[in-house]
Structures are given as C-alpha cells and as structure tokens.
Amino acid sequence: MKGWQRAVIGFVIGISVAHVAHAAQSAKRLPKDAPTDRIIVKLRDGARVGEPVADARARIAAVAQRSGLRFELARSVTERLHSIRIERPLAGGEMKARLAKLAADPDVEYAEPDRRQFPLAVPNDPLFSRTPQTGQWYLTNPDAAFPAAIGAERAWDLTTGSTNVVVAVLDTGVLFNHPDLGRVANGGKLLPGYDFIGADPNGSFSTANDGDGRDADPSDPGDWISSSDLQNPVFSGCEVADSSWHGTHIAGIIGARTNNGLGVAGIGWATRVLPVRVLGKCAGYTSDIVAAMRWAAGLTVPGVPALPIAEQAWVINLSLGSPDPCSQTYRDTINAVRAQGVLVVAAAGNESGAVTEPANCPGVVAVAAIRHVGTKVGFSSFGLEVTIAAPGGNCVNTTGACLYPIVSTDNNGTTTPQPGNGMIYGGKLGTSFSAPIVAGVAALMWSRNPLMTADQLRERLQRTARPFPSDPAILSCADPNFVPDAQGNYPNSGNCNCTTATCGAGMLDAYRAVLSAANAVAIAPESVSGTAGQAIALDGSRSLPSPSGTALSYRWTIVSGAGATLANSTAAIASLTAPAGTYVVQLEVTDNAPTATIDRTTVTVSVAPAPSPSGGGGGALAPLLVLSLALVACLRRR
C-alpha cells in the first residue's frame, strides 16, 4: 500500500494458562538441502501483463519439450514466476544439474528449488504455567529483573494503535473462534484472510489438511504429524508432533483483544491482523509463501481475488524459514513488496548459528531472540543479517514449568482445534515469537505516523534500541571461541552476550520507537566513565529529529554533581571535566519540524580519582632510582 493511500485511509488482564512440564530446551533443527519435487522457474520478460495461466502452461510445456525434462505446472505466483512439479524429489548434485539445464533454456531467467519452509518455534515445548513469571513480562517496562522487556506500557501512553494499520501473519492459519481474537465483522481483530496452500505433488491435500487447495478460509485445521504420516513421502524430513497453533499464537502477540478483562494483551490494541495460511502439516512451500506476500501487499496473484485496499498489509510477519541462502525468488518478492511500502519482518531462526531464509534476505527486518536478562537465547540464530533483538522466551530451569515463555492465544487440541475451554493461553519459545513483537511495535509506529516510510521506520527501530547488557560469566557471541563443537553444540548451550555485529542494533524499545515516529528523540549512552581532570565525551550524535524534521539543536546541562564543567554544551558531542564522583547530565534535543518537537534523556557519568603523580607503582623508590642512575653515569665519566 502506497503512502498516499495510507494517508487517505487515514491493561490489567486476567490470564488462564494450562500447566504442563516442559522438555529440554533445544530448538528443532531445520533440514538443510532437503529433497524437493518442486522447482521455481522465472520466465523471461515476454509474457503479457495479466497473461492467463493457460498461456503460462504452454510456455512451461515448451521449456519441458526443449530441455527433454519431465515436469508440469504446479501453480503460478505471477505471470512469469511459476512452481513446476518434477517426477521425483531431488537434492544435492542431482538438483543442481536439473536447475542448470532449466536455466540454460532461452525462455528461463532463473530456476531455484521450491523448498519447504518450516515454522520457527520450539514445537516440543508447549510451556504453560500459572506462576507470575509466565505472564506477559516481555511487554512491561524494563528494569533490573527484566532488562529485555520492551516497555509497551509507556508506548501505549502515546498510541494504542489504529484499525487502519494491518499486520499480515503468514503462518499456519488462525482460530477465528478464540475469544481473544475473533473476526473484525463480529467486533474482533481478524480480517477474512486467505489460504494459499495448494495440492501436494501427488495431487492430495495432505499438507493442507483441510481437504482442498487455495481458498478464502485461512482457519487452522491443525498441523500435527503422526507416526503414520511419516509413511507418506510428502512428510519426509518431518517429526512426530502435536498441532502447534503457531499462527494463532503469533496473531495474539500482535493483536489480541486488549483491555477487555480477558486473557492476554495484544501489542496493538486496535491493530488488525490479516491471517494468510501458508504453512500446513509440518511445512509449506516457498512458492505459496511468496505468492501470499505479494497478495498481502496488494499485488496481483493469478487465480486469487484482489485484496481490498483497506485490508492490505502495512507489515508482513514471517515466523518461518529454512537454513538456506536467500534465493532470488525471495529477493524479487521482497523488492516488489517493499516497493509497495510494506515492511517485512522475519524471525532470524532457531538454528543457534547462521540466520535462516528469508530473514537473511536484504531489506528484511530480521529479529533475533534474547532472554529476559538481555543475552542471546541459546536457540536463536545470530549474525550480521540481524536487524534488532526482542524477547523470544527462555526457561532458565530444566524441570517443571518454564519460567519465562512468550504467552499468547493458544488451543489445547493435540490434533484438531478444541472449542470452548479448549481456547486457552499458552507459553512458547522461539524467534517465531520475537518477530511478531517487533511487527506489533512497527504497527504502533505507523499508527502514530502513517506518512512515515518503511525505511524511516526501520531506521528508527534500530536507532532507538537499547544497548545490550553483558554477563561476565558467558562469552560474547562475537568471541572467536564461541563456536560449535564436533556435535554442533555451542558453549553455554548457545547463550552468549549479544553485540551489534551478532544480534542487531540492540534490544527493542517500544516506547522510544513509537515516540520517534512523530517526535525528536534524544539518544545518548545511559552511562559513561572517565578520570578526574580529564575531558569525558558525551555523545548525542545518534539522536533523531521527527520524520518531518531534518535537523536538531542540542543542549547539555548538569543535573546533579558539584564541581563539574561542560564544554561544547550546544553541540551533538559535549565533554565533561570533573573531580571524582558521580554526575547526571541531561541532553535536550529540539528539531526543526514545522511544529518543533523536543525530547530529553540523561547520562550518568562516573568519574574515578586521578592516578597519583608517582604513577602508583614506584612510590618513594622512584627518586632513589633516578639518583642511582645519575651516580652510575657520573662514575663512568670519571
């Protein structure tokens, strides 16, 4: 949706959480280079805009005839981008040879595996508890006990969201009947949405699990995998598991009904959620996901009804992925979606190591998971591709109920959804649940300023992030010794101290991010230290004007502490010179927006005593040493 279209369109909560014991905290490893019987083919420009799928089928058939390969059209994403079904699953060298042969055809721009993408949760840890720690600690204001909490309470003082702002959740579907969700038409939070899961290669609907292909019903029928399911080649690489209700959990984090005296609070009190079903039993295909991304952004998808402007996404949440490099298919789709002004938020992955696709794609807001104390959760992927970090749930204990999960809307059905009392609130772990926290805050930012661009929003998410804390008992994520052993296990179960090179710009700060959407923001280190008598730098250069402003004026003042002096007090970087002690200095910034906005922050400065003139080590022996050297020199001259 373009900016001009947006301009026109213009908590005390009771929690009922089931209690179960949790399993060991290890994330499910995603199958890498798994065999697939589908390939994404992009035809060269030459197709007519709006070309019927039948014409595309003819072009695909011509490619098959020229290449001597056997395949058929499975589904179309655009007039030029198509998923084809080959005769059997391929991987490794066989797949590379097939792709090379297809890419050599003069009518093919590129060919890539149509890989299965998996929900990025820790599916064997349902983690329900009635203890106070399993409330929505991650939304509260940060303090010494919960430094990773995002401060949503203060953000809600600025805005509780807008019904005009839509977040698309591309996932397993949703449970429309959950009392904390419900349909918009009935006063709830969920728009009608769509189901993009098509037929399996064998013509069945085993993955879809709803008896049909693409349709206008994104309800979640359950995604359980039984031991008998594993006999079906469609589910190769899958594991026996109960239904996850993954999409329902994510929808609740972003937009559960808030301030209604029931269950949990959604980050956006008024934010609407567009449910788009792309993950079925065990997984979903890239071709379905990118088609859904385009549709949610208001772009045309062959055979799918156009999405009304008022329901088009401002933010797309992707809590899914595979351990592969970013494909050209995703790159093209993300570029097309971003051109529509849409922000794409994706979970970094639960691989402990490298960031997974699509979070590793350029232009995506990739979200890593941190523990309640602000260090990286063991399961979270990390790396340079990460944009920002947000709570992802952690347990600290190895037996009993998990202490710090991400609690949201859920269901207690192990296979199909259970009505009535089956609509519960559960706790889960994973970067899957870090991403919607960021997506929810992005929606609040746009609610406060719908004219802000996606790039401006992304920058402000990062610039307002709080610095990571450091635990001296564990390694830095960037430490050369923080590497996996021969079994793939990282030190300290994968927990490490985040850096800006491994976990993004910092910890998500909902209040500062939402403030920055329409206000100048004063940004400076929370604390600095130095030595008495020496100039100590105070850096406010990362401060931001409001989106409608272009420049800032600065004013530094000493709030507490005697004997200190300030230099360059009206510059972005000032300096403090003071005797030993503790000082508090305030930074005030004012922007040049048509209606000027002001913000303030404080810096605590710790000044240590200056070292003694003797250097601290020689003491009274130093003059004697000088005298001795002089005497030796004199004797030598004689």
Give the residue numbers marked as catalytic.
Answer: 171, 246, 432
Distances from the Cα of 600 to the Cαs of 360, 419, 520, in angstroms? Answer: 35, 50, 9
Cα torsion for 154, 156, 158, 163, to the nearest 10°? 160
Residue type, 26: S
- The answer to whether 542 and 589 have CB atoms below 8 angstroms apart is no
H or E element, residue 166: strand 166-171
116-119 sheet: strands from edge to edge: 284-285, 116-119, 320-321
Count CA within 13 A, CB hemisphere, residue 321: 35
Q: Max CA-CA distance within the chain?
A: 109
DSSP codes, 464-511: TPBPPP--TTS-BTT-TT----TTSPPGGGG-BB--TTTS-SSB--HH
H or E element, residue 585: strand 581-591
SS3 462: helix
Distance CA 411, CA 2 (A): 37
Beta strands in 192-266 (DSSP E): 194-195
C-alpha 584: how far from chain center: 34
Distances from the Cα of 593 to the Cαs of 448, 597, 599, 612, in angstroms? Answer: 16, 7, 13, 50
Distance CA 523, CA 500 (A): 16
Q: Which two tokens stand for residue 50?
A: 């709006």
Distance CA 403, CA 91 (A): 41
Residue whose tokens read 């010494």: 144
Tally the residues of the chain: 638
598-608 sheet: strands from edge to edge: 527-531, 598-608, 581-591, 552-560
